[in-house]
Structures are given as C-alpha cells and as structure tokens.
Structure 1
Amino acid sequence: MKNVSFQSEQTHPNPPPQDPDQEDRSTSATKFEWDFSVSAVVSSSVAGGNISDTLGVVEVNSSGNLFATGGIARKIRVYSLNSLLSSSSLEATLFDHATACHYCICTPAKLSSLKWKPGSGSQVMGSADYDGVVTEYDLETKMPVYERDEHSGRRVWSMDYSHWDPVVGASGADDGTMQMWDPRHDGGKCVAKVVLGSPVCCVEFNPFGGALVAVGCADRKAYVYDVRKIVDPVAVFDGHQRTVSYTRFLDDHTVVTSGTDGCLKMWDIEKQHMIRTYKGHTNQRRFVGLSIWRNQGLIGCGSESNQLFVYDKRWGEPIWVHGFEPEGGRRYEDGFVSSICWSQEGEDECTLVGGGSDGVVKIFSGKRKPLT
C-alpha cells in the first residue's frame, strides 16, 4: 500500500433559500461546518477500469466496522473498515482489492443489492440479483442458507430487512411487485405483495423500527406502506419527472427520494408534502446510490459526472463534492459513482464509503470543524 494526496474536492457556495419561511436561519458559516478528506482507496492492480468491475452496491454494517460490495463481477467482497482506516497518515492510503478484501463469496448472478441481516451479528447477508433471486449467505461458512425465486425471473433491484423482531424481508423487482417474505413461514413464501405495475427500484423498511416501508418506482412516484395494512399506501409522493430509483428514511417522519430527473427530494410522510429539493449532481439513467447519515442529517449520492456529492438536509445545494478520477492518469470512459453508504456511527466524525463504475472504492472521513 502507499499514500497519495487528492485535490479534487470542491465546496459549493451558499444556495439561496428555497423557502424563506422554512429555511433554517443558521449563519452561512454553518454550511461549511464539515471537513471531508479521502482516507483510503481500494482499486485493482489491473490497469484501467472495466465494465465488469462496476459496483452496484456498497453496504456498511450496523457496527461500522465492516462493509461489503457487490456488482457485475458476481462477487460479494467484505472489507474491514478498521483495517483500511488504521493508518495515521494525513494522506490517503492505497490498497489493492486482492489484499484489502477480508473475504469473498462468488455468486451465480450479477448483484444489485446487499443487506446485513439485523440480529445476526454481521454473520448473515442478504443479496438480490439480476436473475430475480434473493439469497441469504452465512458469512462464516460462505454458503447460501436461504433462497427465494418469486419474481418470475425478473431482475430484483432492491431488498431490505425489517428492524423489528422477528425479522422479515422485502424485495422489489422488474415484475412490478414489492414482496414481503419470512424465511420461517412456509419455506419463505410471500406473506404480502403490492402490485405497482411498473418496475420497483427500491425498498426500504423504517430503520427506526416502525411499521413503515418505502418503495421507489419507475412510475415516477414513491410510496409508503404500513406493513400491518398493506392494501393501500399511507403516503404517495408525486414530484419527480422520471423514475424514482432510491427511497431512504431520514427519520420516523421524513423520507428522501432520488430520481433519474437529477434531483433528490425530501418529503413529510404524514402531510405527503415535499419539503425540499436537492440539485447539483447528474443523474439521467443510472443507479448512482443514495445514503443518509441520520445522526447529523447529511445526504450522500453519486453522479454520472463521476463525482460524489454530499448535501446537508437543510440546504438544497451540495456542501461538498469529490471527483472519482482514477490515479496515475488512467481514465474510465463514461465513468460514474455507482454506490454509496454512510456508517451510522459517530456524532462529530463520520465515515462514508463510495464505489465507482470502474470498481474503485474510496473511503472518506468527515470531521466537524471546531467552533471559532
């Protein structure tokens, strides 16, 4: 491994308030209260990027000490965040995937989604793939322990687990359905189904343990359902001009959505009201990732401009941007940032992991600036 400095960060100027009655009245200095830097980079020793390296998902576990990646290469790779961040150097440390990867599991199909199963002690991981199959893997034995193929062979874009006990799962696919399932129930058959009629791109349970599940759909809408009565949605968010590719809970009452119209939107669930729109990144046709550091309300997403963007929930323009250009002058044609995930640990310090279409993983560290 070796160290290298990066100069591709940008801090954006203050955006004008979208709604003076709703905007936080903090001083402009508050918008620049975070310092971000690249702490580690994991890439391949093979020169140049390749489409077969594209990462579709990065997922950090609940303890913030491990993360996993998956994508076109048909591999689940698990990394130790603690090991990759162990250097005391002020410069970014470079690693190779072959040596940085803690362990690897080969899968039968390309991967679109990964989730650490709650309550498993980071020993079970769920995956969704391009062949329409949801699989659970025992990470100790590296073997599948549960599999369901209930989406008629259509690509499953997203899967998630509930945050209550007993844990149930949900998946959304190109067959236009969101299905909930319980591995203990009738061999894991579907226990509830919502037929949307358009491809379902994202499913997320309320991470705070509530009974809600948010669904993003190709019909340009996002839906929130109460799993106790899933016949009709409790909220419908209609504001994007194109496919809603991601839905993420900010808190019990608020959801953030991402669309291929190039913007993020924050919604009040109860009022079914759009609170704010976030613009700056480029997103017209690809999955570029969306993740929220809920402790401090920071929103991260990728971009088809091959950049990573960080927004503060209070303002509609990004507070920080970082380019994913490869080192050594190598370029990947039409590169883009394809996946992103915050560690949920910390209050005044944070960790963000991003993955690119060339297979490069970058780990970012953020610190709140001291008060002056």
Structure 2
Amino acid sequence: MNHQIQPPRNPDETSSSPKFEWDFLVSSSITGGHISDTLGVIEVNSQGTLFATGGIARKIRIYTLHSLPLFTDHATACRVCICTSAKLSSLKWKPGSAGRTMGSADYDGGIYEYDLETQMPVFERDEHDGRRVWSMDYSSWDPVIGASCSDDGTMQMWDPRQDGGKCVAKIDFGRPVCCVEFSPYGDALLAIGCADRKAYIYDVRKMDDPMAVFDGHQKTVSYTRFVDDRTVMTSGTDGCIKMWDVEDQNLIRTYKGHTNQKRFVGLSIWRNQGLVGCGSESNQVFVYDKRWGEPVWVHGFDPHDQQGGTIRTEQGFVSSICWSQVGDDECTLVAGGSDGVVKIFSGKRKPLTSMN
C-alpha cells in the first residue's frame, strides 16, 4: 500500500519549524521505587483529579493529581493500593462508574475490574489462554463493552452483560497484538496495533474487515491513539510516531527524536491542544506538537531524593506516560520510569509576546 503525504488540513500546520509555545516544570516527583517496580501504565481519570499506576510490582496505586508536594514517596502519596495476583500491563477507568471502578489487564492473561472502595475484584475474564494481555480499553460508543489484545495473537471484544463477559468479537492476527483503543469521541471505531508492523482501524458494528490498514512502521506497532475523530497516531519500536488520516488512509506526518527500539515507552495525546507525549529508552520525556515532526520539549528523568539531589542509578527508561485531558492553556502530564519513579509536569502556554 502506497501512502502519500497529505497536505496540512489547517493554516497552523504550514510553519516550517516548531515553536516552543509552552513552559513546563516538575510539580511533583514520587520516589521510593526500584528496578523491580517498573511502571507499565499510567491513567489519569476524566476529571483530571486522580491518576493510577500499575506495573511489575503487582499493585494498582491511586494518587491525587494536584495536591502532592514537590518531593514525596509512594507510601506517603498513595491514596489506594490494591495488590494483584499478576504483573499489570494496562489500566482503564471504567466509564459510567463515577471513578469507582478500575479495569486492568495482566501478564497472566486476566482481565479484572476492581471496586476501588472495597478494593476487591467485581469482574473477571480469562479468554487469552493465559497469554500476556498487553492492552485493554472500554468503548465510548457502548461503555459496557470492553476489548483486550494479547500475545496469543488475538483482539477480543467482550460484554459483561452476556454470560459473565462473553466474547462478542474476535480477530486473530497471527502475531502478538500490542494495543487496542476505542475512539473516545463516541463513534464506533477501534484502533489496533500489531507486531506485524501494521495498525488497523475497525468499525465495531461490522468486524469482518478493517476499514483502514496503516502500513508504514518498520517494526512492531506498540501504541495506537486517537488524536481526533478522523486522525490516529501510531508508535512503533522503530523509533517513530506516525499520524494518519482514517478517512483517506494517508500518512500525514512522522515524528522522530525519542529512542524506542525494544521497549514500551508510552504514548499519550493531549487532545485539547494536540500535544503528544512519549517516553524514551534514553530516560527522557518527549513532547511533540502534532504540527511538527521534531520535539518541542525534552526532559531528563533522573530520580531525586527528598532534598532534590540526584540519585545515581543504572540507566533506566521512561516506560509510561499520560496527559490529563482537562485544561486549555494549562496542562498536566504524568510520566513513570523503569525504576518506579513518577513525575508530574505542569505546563502553561507562553504569552504571545514571549513567543515572538
């Protein structure tokens, strides 16, 4: 399939070089982790008040987003801690649960939902033959429906209303499937990233064939993210992020700068302003503006002690990242590292005079 570069869709995308329009600072750093506490996922709730982390430590931790001191530790900062039976790869706040229910996927092939007040599982399914589940998500089109994808080569959609989570759709790609994400815009679209180096877009009402196939990465597609109702970003272990037009099936732009050759480093879109956050195997946080292929901000992720001094550790990597979707001229980005450190970044748009 030959993809042609699509012209920019609005005048703001015609600038030849990126403009640094934002000021970022570290508002909080949560330490106390170590190499056995690698964070695989961070999820901010829809209200922008809480965030959850999960990883190989077999714990779901819930934190308040905006009331943490500059330096703290996990034991002090954590509001809720739920111990799980397996390492965690994915977390999602369940729509319609008023922030009370958290969905999770794990390395043992399990999908669970936890009541955060009782800290007990209220739903469980295991349909991936015990193989590692890399990603799960809930539909905004029908918020009860969920989807998961796994090392077993399948993407499965399931409905808790049917026989305790009956599989209502299953696609076998024959290769590990790394990411599944429903469109957050209320339509019936589903994006899937696969180890066959391709990303797929499906209409969940007719799953026989994909409505779009994006073939442009040189290695595994590890993340798929909706930018808006017609645009999707994909990230691969070829060190590239790509933005695609779903309707025309054209490649719009390629983003390079971060290092990603073999690990999951996170990908998140602040949809309000089109900022893209990702981690890097260089142990840095990268922020791109969707209008330009070069990063607009890069921050080193060296952990700090309670007094702000740098802790000397073995080289790690930034393994997870998530924007709060709340805000317009102010933003919040949460990132986690392979050593268990969490950093919260606050951003403000610069005054027009300072950008000239």
How far apart are the structure 1 equivalents of 2:203 and 2:247?
Answer: 12
Match of 2:288 in 1: 311
Cα offset, 1:288, TM superposition: 0.1
TM alignment of 1:65-214, pairs within 5 A:
65-84=49-68, 93-214=70-191
TM-superposition CA deviations, 1:284-319 (whole Å, max 9, x none): 000000000000000000000000000000000000
Structure 1 residue 330 displacement after superposition: 2.4
Q: CA deviation at 1:31?
A: 1.3
Inter-partner Cα distance in structure 1 for 2:229 and 2:218: 26
- TM-score, length-normalised on structure 2? 0.94
Whether 1:222 aligns to 2:192 is no
On the 8 A contact 1:60/1:67 being kept in 2, the answer is: yes
Q: CA deviation at 1:20?
A: 11
Gaps of 5+ in 1: 1-18, 88-92
Cross-structure match for 1:50 = 34
Corresponding residue SS for 1:186:
coil
Output the CA distance in 1 between the equivalents of 2:143 and 2:104. 19
**Native 8 Å contact 1:177 1:197 kept in 2:** yes
Query: Does the CA-based 8 Å contact 2:6-2:252 persist in structure 1?
Result: no
Structure 2 vs 1, CA of residues 103 and 21 (structure 1 numbering), >3 Å: closer, same or farther?
closer
The match for 1:41 is 29
Q: Which residue of 2 aligns with 1:25?
A: 14
Q: Does 2:324 correspond to 1:343?
A: yes
Deviation at 1:165, TM superposition (A): 3.7
Per the alignment, residue 256 of structure 1 pairs with 233
Percent same amino acid at aligned positions?
77
Counterparts of 1:329 and 1:24, CA distance in 2: 39
- Measure how far apart 1:52 and its partner are: 1.0
Match of 2:43 in 1: 59
Among 304, 311, 334, the alignment partner of 2:315 is 334
Q: Give 1:266 shift.
A: 0.2
SS in 2 for 1:98: helix
In the alignment, the residues of structure 2 paired with residue 21 and residue 70 of structure 1 have an alpha-carbon distance, to the nearest angstrom, of 39
Residue 300 of structure 1: aligned partner: 277
Matched, 1:320 2:308: no
* Of 346, 357, 361, the match for 2:342: 361
Under a length normalisation based on structure 1, what TM-score does the superposition of the two structures give? Answer: 0.90
Structure 2 spans left out of the alignment, 5+ residues: none
Among 239, 246, 266, which residue is 2:223 paired with?
A: 246
RMSD: 1.6
Letter in 2 for 1:69: T
Is the alpha carbon distance of 1:74 and 1:349 closer, same or farther for their aligned partners in structure 2, counting shifts above 3 Å? same
Structure 1 CA distance for aligned equivalents of residues 249 and 147 of structure 2 = 23
Q: Which residue of 2 aligns with 1:16?
A: none
1:167 deviates by 1.9
Question: Given that residues 50 and 332 in structure 1 are in contact (C-alpha distance below 8 angstroms), is that contact kept between their aligned partners in structure 2?
Answer: no
Match of 2:209 among 232, 250, 256: 232
Q: Quick one: distance in 2 between partners of 1:125 and 1:370? A: 38
Residue correspondences, number: 343
Give the Cα–Cα distance (whole angstroms) in 1 for the partners of residues 312 and 21 of structure 2. 32
SS of the residue 2:164 aligns to: helix
CA–CA distance in 2 between the matches of 1:357 and 1:367?
27
